[in-house]
A and B are shown apart, each in its own frame.
Chain A
Amino acid sequence: MNLSVDIAGVTLKNPITVASGTFGSGMEYDEFVDLNALGAVTTKGVASVPWPGNPTPRIAETYGGMMNAIGLQNPGIDTFVARDLPFLQKKDTKIIVNVCGKTTEEYVAVVERLASEKVDLLEINVSCPNVKEGGIAFGQDPKALFAITKEIKAKAKQPIIMKLSPNVTDITEMARAAEAAGADALSLINTLTGMKIDVKKRTFAVANKTAGVSGPAIKPIAVRMVYQVANACKLPLIGMGGCMCAEDALEFIMAGASAVAVGTANFHNPYATIEIIEGIKKYMQDNQVDDIRSLIGCVK
């Protein structure tokens, strides 16, 4: 039985990774999960310098999901390279580093710094809805997305995955812009911009006012967008958005994703990734599927 999948020439031993920001750099979950069992670990977004993130409260629960506006708090590339990367490099899993920035130059600085490091893939976060500059500013305009993708691709030594925002009218337009600019893969979806009001306090539940909604409540939207993008471009896709169980992961795969990232589910169940991998194996056994790759985009 083959569970391995290919993302831009990098072979993942199975299609399961984690969604950036839900798993740190893996250290905190190392106590629960054998990281060697994952197809890849996708890190929390890392910028050229430390970012303090947003004021608290940074999260709120919603029905069947949650919302967050962490604001990309991160230690910056120097600490990341010195501390987090060596930890991950000891593991038998692929490393996907999520890169964030406020300007094109900041993204490029991180990408160049990682050029000589043992990192398998770069995921470029041009879709964070919770920071004012950068992030989403690049992810909602196809021309801006094209330009930054091209710029980063020219400097990157590893294949680049552009992470797309669902907060657009037509996600396929964004996918095609990234593909035309030379992206090697796409990941989708980032969180949907939402708002929650605390009626007792008559204020916003999250200090940032708006926050990104994630969790199973958004899964049908994510599956639909993966399907649309899979049919609009040729790039390999990492699907995400509310994947809680093996069946959810298989939905993303059948819609066209080569790999699936588990995010909010980690908070509900720290063992979620491992249970999903086991569930996929069981599905394949029960349904006589020899190769997971035969399921990718099998629903037309």
Chain B
Amino acid sequence: MSKRKIKATVICQKMIAADIFDLKLSAKEIACQAAPGQFVDLYCADGSKLLPRPISLCEIDKEEGTLRLVYRIAGAGTAMFSKLKAGDTIDILGPLGNGFTLRDKKAILIGGGIGIPPMLQLAKALKCEKSIVLGYRDEAFLAEEFEQHGTVYMSSDSGIIGVKGTVMDAISACKITGDVIYACGPTPMLRAIQAYALENGIEAQLSLEEHMACGVGACLACVCKSKDIDDHSKVHNKRVCKDGPVFFAEEVEL
């Protein structure tokens, strides 16, 4: 029994940027076995919204038995989660998926938008030299928390924060180098990182997102195109929820 569906208790929740919420949950059974890059499924109390919402783990505190989730309101389900207050409970399932493979090599951590939160637990777990690149639309969040874990570089669409442009623009403008890349963010960003990593022969681990139903690898909703024939269906479709969400750059077609 590695995965569990449990009733988690809300410790606190606050809004940290427009539509971005910071939720801390007491979830001992899940926290004790969770790893950076994994996610949990959150269930709505309202039965009209049946499918769980997959949300990445921003911080894992095994001693306290807590999970920190930082998420964006994307629809009615996450809007409901944003109303949760201390003492409320919520059904969650996890830990799900395969997280990042930690290397003891000079690292570049790249987070784009709501792909930034999972990089925080990874930054805490990696003890090596780190450059951390955070891409925003026009409002920063979590940036100061990354500073204690490495050198932080930022980019934004408008140029209000850091380099104007994408995380790739920040990498070239600031001449950031590393021997392994860990990334989570929108698909166009991951695609650019994938091309950069393959071109430069750098290992890159990419955390993907796709619409999910079961969260455990059964329904085959959240597949991505894979270079090799997958073990499950013997085609070229890896399951983001079960085989991922973290894949090596050369494994997947984005």
User: Which of A's residues lie within 8 Å of B, judged by CB?
Assistant: 21-24, 28-29, 31-32, 44, 50-53, 56-61, 63-66, 68, 70, 73-76, 79, 215-216, 244, 264, 266-271
- Chain B positions 20 through 54: 1 when the CB is less than 8 Å from some CB of chain A, otherwise 0: 00000000000000000000000100011111100
Residue of B2, B3, B216, B234 ringed by the most chain A CB atoms within 10 A? B234
B132-188 contacts to A, CB under 8 A, are: none
Q: Which of B48, B214, B221 contacts A58 (CB 8 A)?
A: B221
Chain B contacts for A264, CB-based, 8 A: 50
Tell me, in angstroms, the Cα distance from A73 to B51 when the chains sit together. Answer: 21
Chain A contacts for B221, CB-based, 8 A: 56-59, 68, 70
Tell me, in angstroms, the Cα distance from A24 to B213 when the chains sit together. Answer: 13
Chain A contacts for B224, CB-based, 8 A: 56
Tell me, in angstroms, the Cα distance from A215 to B234 when the chains sit together. Answer: 29
Q: Contacts A50-B233, A58-B223, A269-B5; is A29 near B218 (CB within 8 Å)? A: yes
Residue of A59, A60, A79, A269 ringed by the most chain B CB atoms within 10 A? A59
Asked if A268 contacts B52 (CB within 8 A), the reply is yes
Beyond contacts A29-B218, A59-B51, A64-B48: 9 other A-B pairs, Cβ-Cβ < 8 A, are: A44-B218, A53-B223, A59-B211, A61-B49, A73-B233, A76-B234, A266-B214, A267-B215, A269-B5
B112 at the interface (CB under 8 A from A): no
Asked if A28 contacts B218 (CB within 8 A), the reply is yes
Asked if B50 contacts A215 (CB within 8 A), the reply is yes
B16 at the interface (CB under 8 A from A): no
Interface SS of chain A: loop
B128 at the interface (CB under 8 A from A): no
Tell me, in angstroms, the Cα distance from A241 to B166 when the chains sit together. Answer: 46
Interface size on B, residues (CB 8 A): 35
Nearest CB to that of B235 among chain A residues? A52
Nearest CB to that of B2 among chain A residues? A31
Chain B contacts for A76, CB-based, 8 A: 234
Chain B contacts for A32, CB-based, 8 A: 3, 5, 216
B237 at the interface (CB under 8 A from A): yes
Residue of B48, B210, B222 ringed by the most chain A CB atoms within 10 A? B48
User: Which of B's residues lie within 8 Å of A, judged by CB?
Assistant: 1-3, 5, 43, 47-52, 77, 93, 210-224, 232-237, 242
Tell me, in angstroms, the Cα distance from A266 to B234 when the chains sit together. Answer: 24
Asked if A75 contacts B242 (CB within 8 A), the reply is no
Asked if A28 contacts B50 (CB within 8 A), the reply is no
Q: How far is the CB of B125 from chain A (nearest CB, A)?
A: 25
Asked if A66 contacts B223 (CB within 8 A), the reply is no
Asked if B237 contacts A52 (CB within 8 A), the reply is yes
Chain B contacts for A270, CB-based, 8 A: 5, 93, 214, 216
Asked if B222 contacts A56 (CB within 8 A), the reply is yes
Tell me, in angstroms, the Cα distance from A139 to B143 when the chains sit together. Answer: 56
Tell me, in angstroms, the Cα distance from A56 to B236 when the chains sit together. Answer: 13
Q: Contacts A73-B233, A268-B51; is A31 near B3 (CB within 8 Å)? A: yes
Q: Which of A53, A57, A64, A65 contacts B237 (CB 8 A)?
A: A53
